């Protein structure tokens, strides 16, 4: 029966995503392709002092992204440091400096890594005025950067790639805000709480006392999932019954994580004037998603050990109301996007099941990835694919009528090297630096040996790829991890954006060249297969040696 309901969930998910793919994708394409501004948007432009008719070069676009994000970083940091004097602080003290920096970096970078228990660390004002706001704007930034790259591919001889402030504003007012309002109401109907009750003391059935936290959860839960953010209002995240009460809300939350990322390929195809291109990108995303989900489900359903066999699978750390299939589906969606929300504890997964969650992030979270970041990551890999194909046949590679020359391939190559460098360097330094190593081994790692290495590796993989999920056995609220992970999150978010926007500017400046008999068709199964190979070889195999030292060795032991 569990297998039947698990398969039913998957078919329902596929059907819902198929239904919304075309209308949502086309709507986003129209939204970013011009048209009149809404009255509320014009007021927003006046507030920002922005001329919506003035377009920006890639450098100006990048400056706007960085300036806006720096202001957000400072604002969230300040809110945390002054929490004790803010309204609705619930009597909680100011957040310590190191943790405040880590949290501010996390939410501005769309990572939502949490080295703390939210319900006993953050008051309501910090939650809804700082963290929830960043959930909206960081998601909108990711979509804006993706749209800028698509414009670079579609424009001819242009020195501009759009206006960041217009893209940001439209992403907020026309997409994320209205959808979040609707979703929050649906979640309220499903049992997710929304109040300002603070902490309520109750007497249990056995006569004991328990303190129950409240909070404006439904409103934050909606954008946490739609924006592929992932930060939970409660420490248990989406395993908490106040955030995710039932099996149907669990499926709804999975749909929310995947809706925008899986619809953006349609937006891409529509904006470049060839919907087949979007279908090819979607095919690659869907294939990897299906393979990863199948592998994780099998590993969790066939957990080794007497207890796991007696229970019918590896049920440690999983909610009974979701089971293995609901947990594996949620975990796959969470780590294949940049959401990082969890409805089960990944640290309790089987060694190989946990490795799949880690590997999902190591792919670069491009299948389908985060809101915007998944699309622009996949397009960078598509550019590398046509370059490799061009080398094989001895001709200048081109993608959508744009030549892929030395400048473009250098920018794409640097892009794909950033996150592996951050992940592997961060993990190595945590184990190798004198002083740091002792603190990590004695304070942070709960499980010694192979699994301890996996905990550290998972943390840096999650941070550098802007995911935010964790192996919960790691105590990360230490000076080293607050600083190192905070830096990894910022660099992992904004360094790739630098090279994506530079690539967009380079492509936009080119004239479109006509296709010839030697041009590689990028909408056919041949290209889909090539791109799949590049994704696996260029991204996943980079991490094979360290996986062999951690989760793979543990799983084979």
Tell me, yes or no, whether 222 lies in a domain.
Answer: no
By residue range, what is the domain housing residue 465? 398-556
Tell me, yes or no, whether 109 lies in a domain.
Answer: no
Are 148 and 32 spatial neighbours (Cβ–Cβ below 8 Å)? no
What pLDDT was estimated at residue 316?
A: 85
Tell me, yes or no, whether 363 lies in a domain.
Answer: no
What pLDDT was estimated at residue 310?
A: 53
- Whose structure tokens read 């809101």? 371
Phi, psi of 215 (to 5 degrees): 140, 165
What pLDDT was estimated at residue 313?
A: 67
What pLDDT was estimated at residue 305?
A: 58
Phi, psi of 481 (to 5 degrees): -70, -35
- Whose structure tokens read 């001895």? 394
| DSSP line for 100-142 | HHHHHHHHHTT----SS-GGGT--HHIIIIIIHHHHHHHHHHH
H-type helices in 470-539, by residue range?
479-508, 525-534
Instruction: Please count the other Cβ atoms lying within 10 Å of the Cβ belonging to residue 143.
Output: 30
Tell me, yes or no, whether 385 lies in a domain.
Answer: no
Total tally of structural domains belonging to the chain = 1
Per-residue pLDDT of the chain (557 residues; tens, 9 = 90+): 678 888 999 999 999 999 999 999 999 999 999 888 999 999 999 988 999 999 999 999 999 999 999 999 999 999 999 999 999 999 999 999 999 999 999 999 999 999 999 999 999 999 999 999 999 999 999 999 999 999 999 999 999 999 999 999 999 999 999 999 999 999 999 999 999 988 888 888 888 888 888 899 999 999 999 999 998 899 999 999 999 999 999 999 999 999 999 999 999 999 999 999 999 999 999 999 999 999 999 999 887 655 555 556 678 889 888 989 999 999 999 999 999 999 999 998 999 999 999 999 999 889 999 999 999 999 999 999 999 998 887 777 999 999 999 999 999 999 999 999 999 999 999 999 999 999 999 999 988 788 999 999 999 999 999 999 999 889 999 999 999 999 999 999 999 999 999 999 999 999 998 888 778 899 999 999 999 999 998 887 899 999 999 999 988 87
The answer, as to whether pTM is greater than 0.85, is yes
What pLDDT was estimated at residue 197?
A: 87
Tell me, yes or no, whether 353 lies in a domain.
Answer: no
Residue 237 backbone zone (phi > 0: left; psi -120 to 50: alpha; other: beta): left
Tell me, yes or no, whether 381 lies in a domain.
Answer: no
Tell me, yes or no, whether 447 lies in a domain.
Answer: yes
What pLDDT was estimated at residue 304?
A: 61
Q: Is the peptide bond before 368 cis (omega within 30 degrees of 0)?
A: yes
Pairing of strands 209-213, 398-399: unpaired
Are 193 and 199 spatial neighbours (Cβ–Cβ below 8 Å)? no
Tell me, yes or no, whether 78 lies in a domain.
Answer: no
């Amino acid at each position: 029966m569990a297998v039947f309901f698990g398969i039913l969930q998957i078919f329902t998910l596929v059907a819902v995503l198929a239904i919304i793919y075309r209308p949502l994708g086309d709507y986003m394409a129209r939204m970013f392709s011009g048209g009149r501004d809404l009255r509320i948007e014009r007021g927003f432009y006046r507030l920002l002092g922005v001329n919506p008719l003035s377009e920006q070069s890639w450098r100006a676009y990048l400056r706007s992204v960085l300036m806006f994000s720096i202001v957000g970083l400072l604002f969230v940091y300040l809110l945390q440091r002054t929490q004790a004097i803010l309204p609705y602080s619930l009597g909680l003290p100011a957040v310590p400096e190191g943790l405040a920096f880590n949290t501010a970096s996390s939410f501005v970078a769309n990572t939502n890594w949490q080295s703390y228990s939210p319900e006993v660390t953050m008051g309501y004002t910090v939650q809804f005025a700082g963290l929830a706001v960043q959930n909206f704007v960081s998601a909108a930034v990711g979509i804006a950067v993706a749209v800028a790259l698509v414009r670079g591919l579609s424009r001819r001889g242009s020195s501009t790639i759009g206006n960041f402030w217009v893209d940001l504003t439209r992403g907020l007012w026309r997409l994320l805000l209205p959808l979040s309002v609707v979703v929050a109401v649906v979640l309220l109907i499903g049992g997710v709480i929304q109040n300002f009750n603070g902490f309520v003391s109750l007497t249990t059935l056995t006569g004991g006392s328990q303190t129950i936290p409240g909070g404006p959860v439904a409103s934050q839960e909606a954008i946490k999932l739609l924006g592929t953010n992932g930060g939970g209002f409660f420490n248990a995240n989406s395993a908490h019954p106040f955030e995710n009460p039932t099996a149907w809300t669990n499926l709804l939350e999975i749909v929310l994580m995947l809706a925008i990322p899986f619809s953006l390929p349609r937006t891409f195809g529509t904006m470049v004037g060839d919907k087949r291109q979007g279908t090819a990108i979607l095919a690659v995303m869907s294939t990897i998603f299906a393979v990863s989900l199948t592998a994780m489900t099998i590993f969790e359903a066939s957990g080794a050990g007497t207890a796991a066999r007696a229970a019918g699978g590896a049920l440690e750390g999983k909610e009974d109301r979701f089971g293995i299939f609901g947990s594996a589906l949620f975990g796959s969606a969470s780590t294949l996007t940049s959401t990082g929300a969890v409805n089960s504890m990944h640290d309790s997964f089987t060694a190989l099941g946990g490795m799949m969650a880690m590997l999902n992030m190591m792919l670069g979270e491009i299948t389908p990835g985060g809101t915007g970041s998944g699309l622009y990551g996949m397009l960078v890999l598509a550019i590398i694919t046509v370059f490799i194909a061009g080398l094989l046949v001895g001709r200048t590679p081109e993608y959508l009528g744009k030549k892929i020359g030395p400048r473009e391939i250098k920018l794409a190559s640097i892009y794909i090297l950033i996150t592996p460098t951050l992940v592997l360097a961060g993990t190595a330094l945590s184990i190798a630096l004198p002083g740091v190593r002792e603190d990590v081994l004695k304070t942070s790692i709960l499980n010694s040996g192979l699994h301890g290495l996996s905990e550290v590796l998972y943390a840096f993989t999650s941070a550098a790829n802007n995911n935010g999920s964790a192996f919960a056995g790691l105590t990360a609220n230490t000076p080293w991890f607050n600083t190192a992970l905070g830096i990894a999150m910022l660099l992992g978010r904004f360094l790739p954006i630098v090279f994506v926007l530079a690539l967009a500017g380079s492509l936009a400046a080119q004239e479109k060249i006509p296709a010839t008999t030697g041009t590689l068709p990028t909408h056919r199964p041949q290209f889909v297969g090539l791109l799949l190979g590049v994704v696996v070889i260029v991204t996943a195999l980079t991490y094979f040696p360290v996986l062999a030292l951690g989760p793979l060795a543990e799983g084979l032991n």
